[in-house]
Chains A and B, each alone.
Chain A
Amino acid sequence: MVLSGADKNNVKGVFSKIGGQAEDYGAETLERMFATYPQTKTYFPHFDLGKGSAQVKGHGKKVAAALVEAANNIDDIAGALSKLSDLHAQKLRVDPVNFKLLGQCFLVVVASRNPQLLTPEVHASLDKFLCAVGTVLTAKYR
């Protein structure tokens, strides 16, 4: 799977439009993921996962920042997320299937908050981008 020039522009466009709200998008993505796919809570036994949780908001901010970083370095996502890739492989060992679940929830957040932004073409590009991020984060698992 390769990100075309058009894909890269579409992705950059999304994050540019989201701008400073990226943190909110990140928090809502996690909130939706825990609500929709309760099994994902297994990775956060130390978190308060209740509504409005400050820990979820804080973590959502981190997740969003990583996505923004990847989008800003879209020609070298592996390089940009190298440390995160190590972290997920060696310490967190999040089952690869969960990145798809997170990706689905991020797309739902974009769709619900900014439907005009998520045209079919942008949807396709963003889906590919999120897959690429998941691939990078699990690349060093074995």
Chain B
Amino acid sequence: MVHWSAEEKQLISSVWGKVNVEECGAEALARLLIVYPWTQRFFSNFGNLSSPTAIIGNPKVRAHGKKVLTSFGEAVKNLDNIKGTYSKLSELHCEKLHVDPENFRLLGDILVIVLASHFGRDFTPSCQFAWQKLVGVVAHALARRYH
């Protein structure tokens, strides 16, 4: 089980409380598809992903980004049981979708960058530490079915 200090929990929830899940989720997923174009292979039924502009404006990308970040909210609410929280999603991503676990790490890193861009100087190094730890734990939980 992952240990979270009181400070880490506070940093995570105070940032999360101010996150616009729809906007940040859409942006994070769009950036994943733009910065790491090979990830587009998992979204062949999303329609037009032919350019950064197309990706950013793609309604399926926006909707799925919102879905992904909403699910992150479950991790934030259940920091002491992220493994359990992601059990079904891990099954889905590993056994059905066959997503390379490295991609979970890439999305996590991009989410941290998106948060930094929204929160500016408030996204302190301590904040970054807590959030990089969180995205790492989520990535690990999602990849569990591969282990």
| Cα A131 to Cα B8 with chains together (Å) | 30
Are A32's CB and B128's CB within 8 A?
Answer: yes
User: A28 — nearest CB in chain B belongs to which residue?
Assistant: B125
Q: Is A118 engaged at the interface, CB distance under 8 Å to the other chain?
A: yes
| Cα A107 to Cα B31 with chains together (Å) | 13
Q: Interface segment, A17-25, A70-78, A119-127?
A: A119-127
| Cα A3 to Cα B126 with chains together (Å) | 33
Are A118's CB and B113's CB within 8 A?
Answer: yes
Nearest CB on A from B7, distance (A): 12
Are B126's CB and A120's CB within 8 A?
Answer: no
Q: Is B109 engaged at the interface, CB distance under 8 Å to the other chain?
A: yes
Are B31's CB and A104's CB within 8 A?
Answer: no
Instruction: Name, among B113, B119, B123, the residue most crowded by chain A CB atoms within 10 Å (CB to CB).
Output: B113
| Cα A125 to Cα B116 with chains together (Å) | 18
| Cα A115 to Cα B31 with chains together (Å) | 14
Q: Is A92 engaged at the interface, CB distance under 8 Å to the other chain?
A: no
Contacting residues, chain A, for B118 (C-beta < 8 A): 115
Q: Is B3 engaged at the interface, CB distance under 8 Å to the other chain?
A: no
Number of interface residues of B (CB under 8 A): 23
Are A112's CB and B121's CB within 8 A?
Answer: yes
Q: Within A73-111, which residues are at the interface with B (CB < 8 Å)?
A: 104-105, 107-109, 111
| Cα A108 to Cα B56 with chains together (Å) | 20
Interface string of B80-116 (1 = CB under 8 A from A): 0000000000000000000000000000010011101
Instruction: Name, among B55, B56, B117, the residue most crowded by chain A CB atoms within 10 Å (CB to CB).
Output: B117
Are A115's CB and B132's CB within 8 A?
Answer: no
Are A123's CB and B128's CB within 8 A?
Answer: no
Q: Is B15 engaged at the interface, CB distance under 8 Å to the other chain?
A: no
Contacting residues, chain B, for A31 (C-beta < 8 A): 125
Are B113's CB and A123's CB within 8 A?
Answer: yes
User: A105 — nearest CB in chain B belongs to which residue?
Assistant: B128
Q: Is A140 engaged at the interface, CB distance under 8 Å to the other chain?
A: no
Are A113's CB and B120's CB within 8 A?
Answer: yes
Contacting residues, chain B, for A115 (C-beta < 8 A): 116-118, 120
- By a beta-carbon cutoff of 8 Å, the part of chain A in contact with chain B is 31-32, 35-37, 104-105, 107-109, 111-113, 115, 118, 120-121, 123-124, 127
- By a beta-carbon cutoff of 8 Å, the part of chain B in contact with chain A is 30-31, 34-35, 52, 55-56, 109, 112-114, 116-121, 123, 125-126, 128-129, 132
Known A36-B125, A107-B113, A123-B31; further 16 A-B contacts with Cβ < 8 A: A32-B125, A104-B109, A104-B113, A108-B116, A108-B128, A111-B116, A112-B116, A112-B119, A112-B120, A112-B121, A112-B123, A115-B118, A120-B30, A120-B31, A121-B34, A121-B52
